[in-house]
Amino acid sequence: MRKTLLTYVKPHVQEDPLSMILGIGYLGAMLERENIPIALHDERIGTDQEMKAVIEANDIIGFSALTPNIRRAMAWAKYAKEKGKITIMGGPHASVDQGVFLDSGHFDYVLKGEAEYTLPQLLKAIDGNDDSALEEVPGLAAMRDDELWIDNAAPPLIKKLDELPIPARHLLPQESYFANNPERLIYMFTTRGCPFKCIFCQKELTGRGFRVRSTEAIVDELEFLIKTYDPGVMLFVDEILTLRKKRIHEMCDEILRRGLKFEWVANTRADCVDFPLLKHMHRAGCRRIYYGWESGSQRMLSRRT
């Protein structure tokens, strides 16, 4: 089977703090589960020459990029096409604006929505040269003869997050991230989505709902990461970690029960915490909270639709 490379394109401005991107990590883990040959590459910790080399060494190139960096993704896709590669674009921008990628002529496919289940389906259809199978891939868009050939709706959001494997961190050089981050920071998700309807936030990829992993699955991954990588800090990159306070109390109880000693950081809203919760989080190792001050305008903050 042809080997796939999933690569995260370097941002215009370097991200700080720097840690392994989780999106391609989850996809890589799913492809490993399906026994599909896979490599991951993060351009933030590499050079242009290394990017060229990994593109040339693989057959199918999947790109992920934030909105400000789509032109860079297009430039690399152009290079990949010149080398005879099959190219795929995914992620949040692709989920709302497939045309900008398909019209560029540098992408064979755009995959909209959460792709843990649809990417393996797409790669199997490509490998089998099966047009009928391609047409059945949820979220897939593709051109043929300068016309839109496939334009499937994004798949339903993944509800049972515990069924997903943990990100394939072993496919990326963790020590390279630590070399760029003296805190030895590692990212981790416990939820997906956000139920709030702020008009300035685009939620096409992970949705307006709120989906959670079980306490056992969360703390199992924490324990694995602590034993495997000895991180200095764990950052929960959930949009609102503490939306359901009972869930976080249960997580803190399990961290304390297992005797896990580590420092962690949360993202949340100021109206989603209270003193008992903050005290419990501190006992379990939380030392920082990033609150989302999304706007300085009360009119914007008050609008929901």
Amino acid at 45: I
- Residue 303 pLDDT: 72
Sign of the torsion angle spanned by Cα atoms 179, 180, 184, 188: negative
Question: Of all helices (H) and strands (E), which one includes residue 68?
Answer: none
Using the predicted structure, report yes or no on whether residue 61 has a pLDDT greater than 60: yes
Mean pLDDT, residues 45-72 taken together: 94
**Residue 301 CB-half CA count within 13 A:** 10
Domains in the chain, CATH or no CATH each: 4-151 (3.40.50.280), 183-302 (3.30.750.210)
Closest CA to 264 of 305, 218, 302, 300: 218
Using the predicted structure, report yes or no on whether residue 13 has a pLDDT greater than 80: no
CA–CA distance, 171 with 190 (Å, rounded to integer): 21
- Residue 202 pLDDT: 65
The DSSP letter of residue 270 is G
Please provide the average confidence, as pLDDT, over all residues in the chain. 92
- Residue 297 pLDDT: 81
Instruction: Kindly report, residue by residue over 121-172, the tens digit of the pLDDT.
Output: 999 999 999 999 999 999 999 999 989 999 999 999 999 999 999 999 999 9
- Residue 12 pLDDT: 63
Entry pTM: 0.93
Mean pLDDT, residues 54-82 taken together: 95
Q: Quick one: tokens of 106?
A: 């540098």
